[in-house]
Structure 1
Amino acid sequence: MSRIVVSGYYGSKNAGDEAMLSAMLEVLSDLDPKLHITVISADPEDTRKRHGVDAISWLGFPAIIKELRQADLLISGGGSLLQNVTSRRSLYYYMFIIMLAHFLGTKVMLYAQGIGPIIGRVAEMAMRFLGNHVDLITVRDEGSLKELARLGIHKTIIECTADPVLAIHPVGKEAGRAIFKAYHADGAKPVLGISVREWQGWRHYKEVLAEVSDMVVRELGARVVFIPMQFPDDVKAAQAIASLTKEECTVLKDEYTTSEFLSLVGNMDLMLGIRLHALIFAGVMGVPMLGISYDPKIDRFLASIGEEPVGNLKDVTAEELMVEIRRKWNDKQTFRQKNGELLAQLRDMAAHNAELAVNLAHK
């Protein structure tokens, strides 16, 4: 029986990261049902219940060392773990786990990571050393390949694949409909889903999204539903926007499973997202999407399906958002088909991450 330890941003109530873990476990288990997987988590009990795997605390270093000694492979990822724009400390934490595995003689795979931006001489040197001493790197986009090249990481096998969530299976729409009904948001109206996040205390983009919400209700006769990908932070951000609206909108205030999120998104006619995995969920469920950029990972994912973000959080306007909303709203089927063809290719690439990991663990 091969043993794998998984390190990532798990157990922190972030829907995108939990979906990533679900997708990874799903594909890894399909390939080798006998794998023993232990997840390093901020909330081991939640991870055990949610995913049905062994889990240990992200600060329990004696337990982490014990697991790494026994493991055949450390998977670091997926997600944007190796960057220091949103958090400087987390970069060094994930590097430390990788370094521990390396010194204990455990193989290491960076799994479908979104690399960078990594800023600062010390951080770049540390990343260059680690990147050149792991056993395998897969990245989820071309931008991450460029960041690896900029950092001088070239001694390791590197492949460009896709975000792990793209390998997850679509689900039915019934659970999403039941949630809509519980919030009195069901009925025949079409739905615009909006996924938001707090960002540096900025108010401008919240005012813009409130204006867009009102315009969509009035002009398109649609229902606007805000979905929280990070609980409870995104609920607060959505409520702040809803408080600025004049027309009725719905803010979902509960915590949901990956399956429930996918089902919710499947009931949308269009997804407008700041959160990356809201856009990826839309891709999995065949829903047209629009992304607003705050981080290169948004631009990179949209580029992979032949799209661009509609502005960025700092200077996006209601007018430019509405132009793109109208364009996609009036021709949803064309965009479903176009995105679907590209996403089918990305789905296979996402599953390839797990194939590489299992092969490495068995060596």
Structure 2
Amino acid sequence: MSRIVVSGYYGSKNAGDEAMLAAMLEVLGDLDPKLHITVISANPEDTRRRHGVAAISWLGLPAIIRELRQADLLISGGGSLLQNVTSRRSLYYYLAIIFLARFLGTKVMLYAQGIGPILGRVAAFAMKWIGNRVDLITVRDQGSLAELSRLGIHKPPIHCTADPVLAIHPVDREAGRAIFKAYHADGAKPVVGISVREWLGWTHYKEVLAEVSDRVVRELGARVVFVPMQFPDDVRAAQAIAARTKEPCTVLKDEYTTSEFLSIVGNMDLMLGIRLHALIFAGVMGVPMIGISYDPKIDRFLQSIGEEPVGNLRDVTADELMAEIRRKWNDKQTFRQQNAELLVKLRDQAASNAELALNLAHK
């Protein structure tokens, strides 16, 4: 039986990261049902309950050392772990776990990582020194590949694949319909989903999204539902926008599982997202999407499916967003088909991360 330890931003109530872990476990389990996986988590109890795997605390150094000593492989990823824009300290934590694994003689794979931005000479040096000592790197986009090149990381085998969540299986829409009904947001009206987040205390984009929400209701006769990907932070961000609206809208205020999120998004007619994995969920469930950029990872994902973000959080306008919403609203089936064709290839690439990991673990 092969043993794998997984390090990432798990147990912190972030739907995107939990979806990455769920997708990783799903594909790895399909390939090797006897695999033993232990996850390093900020909330081991939640991770055990949510995903049905062994979990240890991210601060429990003796347990981490014990698990790494027994493991055939450390998987670091997926997601944007190796960057220092949203958090300076987390980069060094994840690099330290990688260093510890290599020190103990455990093989290491960076799994579908979104690399960078990495700012500052010390951080770049640390990333280069450790990155060149892992056994295998897969990245989820071409921008991450370019960042590795810029940092001088070239010694391990490197593959450009896709975000792990793109390999997850679509789900039934019934659970999402039940959640809408509980919020009195069901019925015959089409639905536009909006995924938001707080960012640097800015308010401009909140005012823009409140205006867009009102215009969607008035002009398209649609229902607007705000979907929280990070609980409870995104609920508060959505409520701040909803408080600025004049027309009715719905803010989902609960915490959901990955399958529930997928089902919720599957009931949308269009997804407008700031959060990356709200857009990826839309891709998995065949829902047309519009992204607003705040981080290179948004631009990179949209480019991979032949799209571009509509502005960024600093300067996006309601008119820009409404023009793109109308364009996709009037031809939803065409955009569903275009995205679906590109996503087939990305799903295969996402699944290849697990195949590469198991090949490395079994060596």
Same fold per superposition (TM over 0.5): yes
1:159-207 per-residue CA deviation (whole Å, 9 max, x = no partner) reads 0000000000000110000000000000000000000000011000000
Match of 2:285, as an amino acid? M
Structure-1 residue corresponding to 2:214: 214
Tell me whether 1:309 sits opposite 2:338 in the alignment.
Answer: no
Structure 1 position 127, deviation (Å): 0.5
Aligned structure 1 segments of 4 or more residues deviating by more than 3 angstroms? none
State how far apart, in whole Å, the 2-side matches of 1:276 and 1:146 are.
20
Tell me whether 1:14 sits opposite 2:14 in the alignment.
Answer: yes
Structure-1 residue corresponding to 2:362: 362
- SS of the equivalent of 1:293 reads coil
Structure-1 residue corresponding to 2:272: 272
Tell me whether 1:182 sits opposite 2:185 in the alignment.
Answer: no
Structure-2 residue corresponding to 1:91: 91
Structure-2 residue corresponding to 1:295: 295
1:111-150 correspondence runs (5 A): 111-150=111-150
Structure-1 residue corresponding to 2:28: 28
Match of 2:289, as an amino acid? M
1:30-82 per-residue CA deviation (whole Å, 9 max, x = no partner) reads 11111100000000000000000000000000100000000000000000000
Structure 1 position 110, deviation (Å): 0.0
Structure-2 residue corresponding to 1:40: 40
Structure-2 residue corresponding to 1:163: 163
State how far apart, in whole Å, the 1-side matches of 2:55 and 2:267 are.
33
Structure-2 residue corresponding to 1:342: 342
Structure 1 position 277, deviation (Å): 0.1
CA RMSD of the aligned region, Å?
Answer: 0.3
Match of 1:96, as an amino acid? A
Match of 2:234, as an amino acid? D
- SS of the equivalent of 1:55 reads strand
Structure 1 position 92, deviation (Å): 0.3
State how far apart, in whole Å, the 2-side matches of 1:230 and 1:178 are.
21
1:220-259 correspondence runs (5 A): 220-259=220-259
State how far apart, in whole Å, the 2-side matches of 1:335 and 1:56 are.
43
Quote the sequence identity (%).
Answer: 87
TM-score of the aligned structures, taking structure 1 as reference length: 1.00
- SS of the equivalent of 2:215 reads helix
1:306-362 per-residue CA deviation (whole Å, 9 max, x = no partner) reads 000000000000000000000000000000000000000000000000000001000
Structure 1 position 22, deviation (Å): 0.3
- SS of the equivalent of 2:138 reads strand
1:282-328 per-residue CA deviation (whole Å, 9 max, x = no partner) reads 00000000000000000000000000000000000000000000000
Match of 2:95, as an amino acid? M
- SS of the equivalent of 1:193 reads strand
Match of 1:59, as an amino acid? L
State how far apart, in whole Å, the 2-side matches of 1:333 and 1:230 are.
30
State how far apart, in whole Å, the 1-side matches of 2:205 and 2:68 are.
44
Match of 2:129, as an amino acid? F
Match of 1:209, as an amino acid? L
State how far apart, in whole Å, the 2-side matches of 1:219 and 1:52 are.
45
